[in-house]
A and B are shown apart, each in its own frame.
Chain A
Amino acid sequence: MRVIKVLLVTILMVAFAMPVQAKIRSVGKGDKMNFDPSQIPNDLKGAFEIMKVKCIQCHTQERTVIAIQTGIAPVTGQPFDKQATKAYGIKMLRKPKSNMSREEVKQVVNLMNFLIDEAAKP
């Protein structure tokens, strides 16, 4: 019994010791990972819906979540800041397969900039 208790305590400690490294919360794991919808303000909910539908046509939301949380684009290893969000927005606008309109890109860039600001808060 003592062994089981120690084991349980250890598991709980490990579970709660997982580092929370950013202010931006995510839900799900792997290809199901997404931003926690509760932290998206009402005026950006529409942009979040666009992001959820359009961005996953080519890549998982995990890639975006990691970029925002770490400040590093996972593929290129380059800083993911507001300059980068605009550049990625333009890239997606120009990408033949992205199926994103200019207005949609603009809204998603605004959302990513908001998330970057949130992530930077102390």
Chain B
Amino acid sequence: MPNIIRNALYLILSVMAVVLSCNSAFAIPAFSREHNTECATCHTIYPELNEYGDAFLKNGFVWNKKGKDSAAAENKAAVKGEGDPDILKQLKEFASVTTSPKEAEPPAGAPKKSEPLWLAGLPQTVPLSVSAALNAAYNNDVETHKVDLSTRAISLLAGGVFRDKIGFFLKYNLYAEGEYNPSVSNTPTNSNPPYANDLDEFYLVWRKALGTPVNLKAGRFRPTLSLWKKTNKTGISDFATTSFKVGKSQFSADSTEDALEANAILLNRIFVAAGLVDRNGQKNNEGYGHVSVKIGGSDFRSNEPDIDLDKESIFDYIYLVLGAYGYTGRNSIDLFSTQLNNFYRAGADVDLVVKNARLKLAFARERDTNPDFSSHVEAVTDVWAAQAEYMFTPDLLAFVRYELTSFTDGSRINRIIPAVAFAPMQNTKLTLEYQHVATENSVVANSSSDIVLVGARIAF
């Protein structure tokens, strides 16, 4: 066979191999690729987390290592050899987590892991993903520009863990266009100040620091406050309890902050977190704390409850998570202003899941001493939210949410938000959301508005 034909055949076969492997390798994001599992392992309808996704997050992007110690001991006893004791130790540890106690090699089809990659502390796959959102809004109550099709965003995501010790997560806003309003849109900002908001999140987690149950998290991230945040939802709009702002203060529970956080799972069913937030111009660091308790269902380490398979009980299908948090801080309109605003935010959440139904209840209160940075008029803002959610099929979920925001001056904002989310594929989501917003004001006339939002989101 002439060399040219043989080379052409090799080339065609190589290209085919690459193309075929890409079809499966790039169909799903980084965690799915790394763990060779589907999005539905951790999500209801992406990006809302289910209880296993929540446990994965709380454990610094590592699955529960149940039984690892005994398996490791067994393998360590079986591994013999001489040489560099440090390398040998690493190899023994690697063997204990990646091979069967019975078999040296997994059979055909089993995910194979690269020892050199593991020794280098690298994930087995390149941990990068892209998420993109297109949103359209229709608002009949405005004079012009009733339809807005120009809201879109693309983000680069990276996440994983280095040898089960150092977890990392990154979200970089590659591109965003359109009006950003947390109450009506999930489009991230990448505008002023220059580049400051491009890096939405980037943090490292030192898992089980110094052999303790405490995970140390540092970088830019959303402080652990409410049970829900804007990155963990099925609809387009965010919960008012996490997204609301008071006066000119830019603080919201959904804002990313430069922070250091310590968190831990206690007794498998209690999660505690505490952190310090650093911001330029602060006199003192801000601080926050969170505690949540899970009753029923799998615990925060994904251990399943011990259910009697011979006895039917509705309680086997129920779990309840109770959460509470507090945040205290002080901000101003700019770094040099003497007009300071001291504030605190406190909140409580309830998450109740019964089979395919889910009820989310949330309350948040913020007290500000000078929210307009000029008048020093104290303000107390209370926000209530209740969302009932039902998953009809694995790819179809609907919810209705009611929110009430109550201000010191007696004015109130009511929002009623029904929505339907459809995921034709696990990494693709279409959302149709309607918002009825009614404002009751003691000074000016009451008003209302109706907005229809349509969102398409993909991740790969």
A residues with CB within 8 A of B: 18-19, 21-22, 29-30, 33, 58-59, 62, 65-66, 69-72, 74-79, 81, 83, 86-91, 93-94, 96-97, 102, 105-106, 109
Chain A nearest CB, measured from B316 CB (Å): 7
Given contact pairs A78-B65, A89-B309, A105-B309, A29 touches B110 in the complex (Cβ within 8 A): no
Question: Could you say which of B41, B107, B297, B391 contacts A94, with CB atoms under 8 Å apart?
Answer: B297
Report if B378 contacts A (CB, 8 A). no
Are B40 and A78 closer than 8 Å at their CB atoms? no
Q: Which of A62, A75, A81 is most buried by chain B, counting CB atoms within 10 A of its CB? A: A75
Q: How far is the CB of A115 from chain B (nearest CB, A)?
A: 14
Are the CB atoms of A66 and B307 closer together than 8 Å?
no
Q: Assuming A66-B110, A72-B100, A94-B316, is B63 touching A77 (CB within 8 A)?
A: yes
Interface residues of B in 346-393 (CB under 8 A from A): 355-356, 391, 393
5 contacts between A and B (CB under 8 A): A21-B107, A22-B107, A58-B40, A66-B106, A78-B68
Bound form: Cα–Cα A96–B316 in Å: 12
Residues of B at under 8 Å CB distance from A? 35-38, 40-41, 44, 63-68, 71, 97-103, 105-111, 297-298, 303-307, 309-310, 312, 316-317, 355-356, 391, 393-394
Query: Cα distance A83–B64 when bound, in Å?
Result: 14
Additional A-B contacts beyond A19-B107, A58-B38, A74-B36 (17; CB < 8 A): A22-B102, A29-B109, A30-B109, A59-B38, A62-B109, A66-B110, A70-B103, A77-B63, A77-B97, A78-B63, A78-B65, A79-B71, A79-B101, A81-B67, A87-B303, A94-B304, A94-B316
Whether A75 pairs with B37 at a CB distance below 8 angstroms is yes
**Given contact pairs A87-B304, A102-B312, A76 touches B63 in the complex (Cβ within 8 A):** yes
Instruction: Determine the residue in chain B with the shortest Cβ distance to A18.
Output: B108
Given contacts A91-B298, A94-B316, whether A74 and B110 have CB atoms under 8 Å apart is yes
For the complex formed, measure the closest distance between the CB of A110 and the CB atoms of chain B, giving whole angstroms: 10
Query: Contacts A62-B109, A66-B107: A78 and B310 contacting too (C-beta < 8 A)?
Result: no
Measured in the bound complex, the distance between the Cα atoms of B393 and A30 in whole Å is 26
Whether the Cβ atoms of B107 and A69 lie closer than 8 Å is yes
* Residue of B35, B40, B41, B103 touching A21 (CB-CB under 8 A): B103
How many A-B residue pairs have C-beta atoms within 8 angstroms? Tell me.
104
Residues of A within 8 A of B105 (CB): 19, 21
Alpha-carbon gap, A33 to B109, bound state (A): 9
Complex CA gap A120/B220 in Å reads 49
Give CA–CA (A18, B109) in the complex, Å: 13
- Whether the pair A72, B109 counts as a contact (CB closer than 8 A) is no
When distances are taken between beta carbons in the complex, the residues of chain A under 8 Å from B304 are: 86-88, 90-91, 94
B98 cross-chain contacts in A, Cβ below 8 A: 77
Instruction: Among A70, A81, A105, A109, point to the contact of B106 (Cβ < 8 A).
Output: A70
Q: Closest B residue to A98 by CB, please name it.
A: B394
Contact of B391 with A71 in the complex, beta carbons under 8 Å: no
A74 & B64 in contact (Cβ 8 Å cutoff): no
Say yes or no: B35 contacts A75, CB within 8 Å. Answer: yes
Question: Which residues from A are CB-within-8-Å of B99?
Answer: 72
Q: In angstroms, how far is the closest chain A Cβ from the Cβ of B304?
A: 4
Set of chain A residues within 8 Å of B71, measured between Cβ atoms: 79
- Within 8 Å CB of B106, what residues of A? 66, 70, 72, 74
A72 to B355, CA, bound (A): 29
User: Known: A72-B106, A91-B298. Is A106-B310 also a contact (CB below 8 A)?
Assistant: yes
Q: Considering the complex, give the chain B residue whose CB is closest to the CB of A57.
A: B394
A9 to B99, CA, bound (A): 31
> Given that A75-B63, A76-B63 are known contacts, is A102 also in contact with B309, CB under 8 Å in the complex?
yes
- Write out the residue numbers on chain B whose beta carbons fall within 8 Å of the beta carbon of A58: 38, 40, 394
Task: Tell me the nearest residue of chain A to B41, going by C-beta.
Answer: A75
Instruction: Kindly provide the distance from the CB of A50 to the nearest chain B CB, expressed in whole angstroms.
Output: 14
B317's nearest neighbour on chain A, judged by CB, is: A94
Q: How far is the CB of A58 from chain B (nearest CB, A)?
A: 7
Nearest-CB residue, chain A, relative to B37: A75
B-chain residues with CB within 8 Å of residue A66 when the two chains form the complex: 106-107, 109-110
Judging by beta carbons under 8 Å apart, are A74 and B111 in contact? yes
Closest to A109 in B: B309
Contacts of A93 in B (CB 8 A): 307, 309, 316
Which residue in chain B gives the minimum CB-CB distance to A59? B38
- Least Cβ–Cβ distance between B183 and chain A, in angstroms: 29
